[in-house]
Amino acid sequence: MTFVECDGTGKYSDSSEKHLSDKYPFTDAYRVIKIEIVVSSIDVPGVVKLIIKNGRTDYKGDGLILVSPVDNIYKIRNDIEGNEAL
């Protein structure tokens, strides 16, 4: 799991509500946290449900979950690859 603090733009903020993002005065960008998680495909549905259950605030800007295939994983330190590298 990786957390990346970054700037994001889009129609995901609700200007009428106070939310955790701090709007920059010189752009339409907001401070957001991007979370990257790589799991075995069999674990994807459970991880998605867990994120939705614990991440929902019912305000615009709760985020998106993008699911992408990963062709392979290589652990550099000991040459392990595939699911064993997770």
pLDDT at 53 (0 to 100): 95
pLDDT at 14 (0 to 100): 56
- Residues 11-52 have pLDDT tens digits of 655 555 554 445 555 566 777 888 999 998 999 999 999 999
- Residues 44-78 have pLDDT tens digits of 999 999 999 998 988 877 888 999 999 999 999 99
pLDDT at 62 (0 to 100): 83
pLDDT at 28 (0 to 100): 67
Between the alpha carbon of residue 27 and those of residues 24, 31, 36, 60, 64, the distances in Å are 6, 11, 25, 19, 21
